Amino acid sequence: MDNEKKQVTYNSSITGETQVTFDIQQYMNNMAMFIGLMCNEDGYEEPFGDVTVNLSVAAPNYCGYLNVNDMPDIEKFITDNDLGEFT
């Protein structure tokens, strides 16, 4: 079985291109979907950025609120990689 995570390219207007993998979990307080991006720095997997944010108003199932403040290019990343649709 292949345990390699699929890498995709996050193209940031601030830091340029970075190869990232997904970290999909749940927020502990309300079990809402958390999506983060991980990158490889000097052979170690490290957090790159949080795709979602946890707001007090719950998002519908299989939906999340995007972290556009910390990741201003996240909408383009989602569109370019056909990762979801906006509601």
| Residue 58: predicted pLDDT | 82
- 10-66 pLDDT tens trace: 999 988 999 999 999 999 998 899 999 999 989 899 999 999 999 988 888 889 999
Domain total for the chain? 1
Domain of residue 44 covers 8-80
**3 in a structural domain:** no
What residues pair up with 63 in beta bridges, in sequence order?
none
Task: Please give the Cα distance from 7 to 54 (Å, whole number).
Answer: 25
Q: Global pTM?
A: 0.87
Could you tell me if residue 2 is inside a domain?
no
Q: Which of 61, 68, 62 is nearest to 84 (CA)?
A: 62
